[in-house]
A and B are shown apart, each in its own frame.
Chain A
Amino acid sequence: MAGDLAWIIGNVLPYVTLAVFFIVLIYNFLKWVFMPRPVVWSLFPAKRSTFDILLTIAARIFTLPGPRKVDITIWVLAWLFHIGLIVSLLLHAKYILMPSFPAEYYLGSAAGVAAAIGTLGFIIRRIDLAKTKADSTFADYFALILLLVTLSLGAYLRLGELVEPGVTWAWVRGVLTLNPVPPPEHPLFLVHILLAQIYLMYLPFKTLIHPIAILFGQKIILDERHIYPR
């Protein structure tokens, strides 16, 4: 029975997760692409060439000038959170191609811890925001708590060396090459990948809208092409 559950979590659910993740993500992206272009709603300084617009969007994604200007707390938390998460995800992605080197364990754990600290900071901030700025919904907290638990478990599994890397790698390759093999059996590992998959399926509906939104939202306020030449 336990083996069946592990098989479902490790070898069936990933395909459902990937399907939901990409279909909803693509749908969301296309939805905004095909929505009518707004009338001029730029905020100056804006940009007059497509290249400049794209360059500025990229710069803003990485430097977050707005939060840096008005609220340094969220800027620091956002950096910890996103860099931690991105490094962690990149190491997971690399894992698809080759097994991890021992040194990566520490980098991955550090990234996980940084992201977890960022997440915890976001949760605390939300509690404070409810008093001073805006109410957060259950959905807002759910995303953060789910991620916090997933990240913490991931870091714990790495630091505690509770899972044999070779077995994990074989499982990942099996999933990707459609030749499934049983996943590592440690219950915490199964909880970790289950939560990660729930999070991935939840992301495009809620939280992952914002990386898409940043492209369209920033483009709208940066684009002054259609009001020139004067």
Chain B
Amino acid sequence: MEEEVGKMERVVEVPKLERVFDDYRALSDEIIRIEEPKKEKFLEAMRKSLTKQNWPFLKPYKLTLEACTHCGTCAEACSVYIGSGKKKIYSPVHRSDMFRKIYKKHFTLSGKLFGSLVGAKDPSEEDINALAEAVWRCTICRRCAMACPFGLDNGLITREVRKIFADIGIAPDELKEKGVENHLKFGSAPKIPYEGLMNILEFIKEEIEEEKGVEIEIPVDKKGVKYLVMNNAGDYLAFTETVQGIVEIMNYANADWSLNSPKTGVFDVVNYGLFYSDEDFVRVMKAHVDTINKLEPEYVVIGECGHAYDALAHFLKDLFPPEERPFKVISLMELVDQWIREGKLKLDKEKNPEPVTFHDSCKWGRTGGIYEEPRRILKAACKDFREMQPNREWNHCCGGGSGFAIMHKDDFFKFRMETYGRVKAEQLRQTGAKIVATICANCKAQFRELVEYWKLDMRYAGVSELVANALVY
């Protein structure tokens, strides 16, 4: 009987992709092309990455490759390493070393002279395939860089290696083909057509008017407004309550504002290029700039999307001259925080009586510096605000970052839940909160699955949703 059950299990077992690094796969067979020799192409792309052509990142990149002392401090800070039960293959320094060995062998004199004595190794094709997968186990949350005594950044190494692979045509299709290419072609990564967007906005308008009994206006593609609000397209589709919250807040504040649609160019504020390719990163950023310039707003307000803030509020400043970006970029959190303090938004915290905790998304927090604004907002909008431990710059990544939340190949979902997710679920449980508030669509997507997988007695919500719920009319 047992044998029969065993046979049945084998029959229904879903065929898994061939393993090249660990028990999971992030890249499809068509993308990674396991059988195809790629070492020479990889080395050529790597050589290019180490020249001044890569000026935006060259210094921290080479510094991290050359100055790491293998002290292992980064590992103790790494959410995936901790969540995996401290498996060596997930330690940041081990991942970087997979790459550093190649660097030493091919690009340093000591490596060429002394070989393995200094940790140099000529990679096999298997090593290259393993590295291609390994760099998609790190969300580049950069908690390791916070911990490194020297400020070295294994997250940056992960990103640089992804760039090298992207140069030879290896990047997750969720981010490249279905992400960046769709984004540039259709205005949003999920290809929301103009009519579809209008239907969603009409639905939102009706919902608010019905729930709150107020008249709502949702301006779209309006030129010369003070605030152009750009959202993650995922929010329109999957986290409509967030957009609904934003619309209500903008109306309540009687702001001169607008959303934009595919008719003006790109309306999805995401930039998946940030996760794997400078070239695609800048292509998307340029599309954003062109779109914004058409609409001539005074401010671009980044909705609840962490990496978009990193891209448009920070990187844009270094990569585009001021005359090409005659607008200011702020986050919705900064704006709402300011309006609450000015008394423009009147809130009743009794309307959100459940205990609420806040998840600092890596891109908003460590990389964006937006720590206090959402806290002040939540304390004003919710009766019982509780800090998660650790928090702010030491918060753990939820595991949805770097685009992981939309990557579901093979059993990558299980990887997200069982590693990063395990740590985050424990953190959430300890707060005793019933709502985890966050301001990032990737985090929300991860929480949506995390809450169910780990059977947490709580729900997730966007900060805007909670603010809108607390508005006093």
Contact = CB atoms under 8 A, between A and B. Distances in A.
B119 A139 contact: yes
Contacts of A220: 59-60, 63, 151, 153
B369 A39 contact: no
Main secondary structure of the interface of A (DSSP, over half): helix
Nearest to A67: B73
Contacts of A36: 52, 55-56, 58-59
B69 interface: yes
B318 A46 contact: no
Contacts of A126: 70
B146 A133 contact: no
A66 B73 contact: yes
A186 interface: no
Interface stretch (B198-206, B262-270, B309-317, B376-384): B309-317
A67 B150 CA distance: 10
Given A44-B369, A139-B117, A230-B329, A134 B75 contact: yes
Which of A40, A134, A227 has the most chain B CB atoms closer than 10 A to its own CB? A134
A227 to B, nearest CB: 5
B368 A44 contact: yes
Contact of B60 (A41, A60, A210): A41
A205 B110 contact: yes
B330 interface: yes
A38 B60 contact: yes
A69 B343 CA distance: 39
A39 B73 contact: no
Nearest to A43: B366
B368 to A, nearest CB: 7
Nearest to A40: B314
B318 A44 contact: no
B56 A138 contact: no
B61 to A, nearest CB: 8
Interface residues on B, range: 35 or more
A210 B119 contact: no
Interface in B324-340: 328-330
B131 to A, nearest CB: 15
A211 B276 CA distance: 31
B367 A217 contact: no
Interface in B139-163: 142, 145-153, 156
A45 B366 CA distance: 7
A218 B151 CA distance: 5
A209 to B, nearest CB: 5
A230 B313 contact: yes
B72 interface: yes
Contacts of B345: none
Interface residues on A, range: 35 or more
Interface string A103-140: 00000000000000000000001100101111111111
Interface stretch (A70-78, A145-153, A156-164, A167-175): A70-78
A62 to B, nearest CB: 11
Which of A64, A66, A210 has the most chain B CB atoms closer than 10 A to its own CB? A66
Interface string B401-431: 0000000000000000000000000000000
A29 interface: no
B319 interface: yes
B75 A69 contact: no
A94 interface: no
Contacts of A210: 67, 69, 150
B122 interface: no
A230 B330 contact: yes
A133 B114 CA distance: 23
A41 B366 CA distance: 10
A210 to B, nearest CB: 5
Interface string B341-367: 000000000000000000000000111
Interface string A20-60: 00000000000010011111111111100000000000001
A83 interface: no
B71 to A, nearest CB: 6
A74 B73 contact: yes
B146 A217 contact: no
Contacts of A131: 88
A24 to B, nearest CB: 12
Contacts of A45: 369, 371, 393
A46 B369 contact: yes
A221 interface: yes
Contacts of B231: none
Given A69-B147, A74-B73, A132-B86, A38 B56 contact: yes
Contacts of B76: 70-71
A43 B366 CA distance: 5
A74 B148 CA distance: 11
Contacts of A214: 149-151
24 contacts: A39-B318, A40-B314, A41-B60, A41-B156, A42-B314, A44-B366, A44-B393, A46-B369, A67-B147, A70-B76, A71-B76, A71-B147, A132-B75, A135-B119, A137-B70, A139-B114, A139-B117, A207-B69, A210-B69, A214-B150, A220-B63, A220-B151, A221-B151, A230-B330
Given A38-B59, A126-B70, 7 more contacts: A41-B57, A66-B73, A134-B75, A217-B153, A218-B151, A220-B63, A230-B329
Closest CB pairs A-B (n = 6): A217-B151, A213-B67, A44-B369, A137-B119, A66-B147, A39-B318
